[in-house]
């Protein structure tokens, strides 16, 4: 009888140990689950203690005097003694060395999408710009315009020498190999559709949008891309600006910052 009692006691003890072990395991599992849930809540629940400044869009930290933001137009000539180091990119086209890699990457990535963009114009010497401008003036004169009017009309298509972006080495004209005519139909090519949408990722902007002609003083050119740097290009695209508007924005910001100090 005593032996039976001992067996029963042993069995009861074993059962109690098993129950304790099972209970401990369940608690451990539940605790782990609770920790996981809290982690998920931390990831997906808005944090009330985030400051307003962190939520707001971060201010761009650039200067209007940066080399890649040089403003060249009818009212802003290329500075005297402006020098650049040039580098060949493809098909004997040359650009400012500082933009060459980004330009190559942009063209390569476009081609990976099955597109076929080509550069049709890049850096120009002042003498080349003079030649192109004079040719355009003569074209308008042949149409019956006087010299003053011919020069005015020509300047909306070909920059007056000394005021052209191509002379900075920061601008390129890119077209579709299948359609190389420089007219507004260029924007309908797959190449231009891709470039207009993606060029900012490589630091380029469509320099002369059709809706900004009053500010750029150049007719719509859906082939002319200007390097401004990735951060600047992103801001310009997101805020639907042209370069003139962006430079004004930066100068006003810089003036306000000085005033606040």
Positions marked active-site:
221
Helix (H) / strand (E) containing 204: strand 204-206
How many whole angstroms separate alpha carbon 169 and alpha carbon 151?
A: 24
Cβ(196)–Cβ(187) below 8 Å: yes
C-alpha distances out from residue 17 to 5, 7, 24, 32, Å: 18, 15, 10, 23
How many whole angstroms separate alpha carbon 137 and alpha carbon 158?
A: 9
Structure tokens given for 105: 């990457």
Look at residues 197, 200, 195, 202 and name the one whose alpha carbon lies nearest to residue 174: 195
How many whole angstroms separate alpha carbon 25 and alpha carbon 28?
A: 5
CB atoms within 10 A of CB 184: 13
How many whole angstroms separate alpha carbon 92 and alpha carbon 144?
A: 37
Helix (H, G, I), strand (E, B) or coil at 225: strand
CB atoms within 10 A of CB 67: 12
């Amino acid at each position: 009888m005593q032996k039976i009692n001992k067996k029963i006691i042993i069995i009861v003890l074993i059962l109690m140990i098993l129950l304790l072990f099972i209970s401990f395991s369940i608690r451990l599992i539940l605790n782990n689950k609770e920790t996981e849930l809290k982690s998920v809540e931390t990831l997906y629940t808005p944090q009330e203690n985030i400051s307003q400044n962190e939520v707001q869009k971060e201010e761009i930290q650039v200067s209007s005097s940066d080399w890649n933001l040089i403003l060249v137009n009818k009212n802003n000539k290329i500075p005297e003694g402006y020098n650049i180091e040039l580098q060949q990119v493809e098909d004997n086209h040359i650009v400012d060395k500082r933009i060459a890699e980004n330009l190559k990457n942009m063209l390569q990535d476009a081609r990976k999408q099955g597109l076929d963009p080509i550069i049709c114009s890049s850096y120009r010497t002042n003498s080349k710009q003079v030649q192109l401008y004079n040719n355009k003036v003569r074209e308008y004169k042949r149409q019956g315009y006087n010299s003053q009017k011919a020069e005015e009309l020509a300047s909306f298509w070909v920059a007056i020498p000394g005021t052209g972006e191509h002379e900075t080495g920061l601008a390129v004209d890119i077209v579709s190999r299948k359609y190389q005519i420089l007219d507004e139909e260029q924007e309908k090519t797959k190449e231009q559709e891709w470039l207009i949408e993606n060029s900012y990722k490589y630091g380029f902007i469509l320099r002369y949008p059709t809706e900004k002609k009053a500010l750029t003083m150049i007719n719509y050119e859906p082939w002319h891309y200007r390097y401004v740097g990735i951060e600047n290009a992103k801001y310009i695209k997101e805020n639907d600006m042209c370069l003139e508007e962006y430079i004004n924005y930066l100068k006003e910001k810089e003036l306000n910052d000085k005033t606040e100090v």
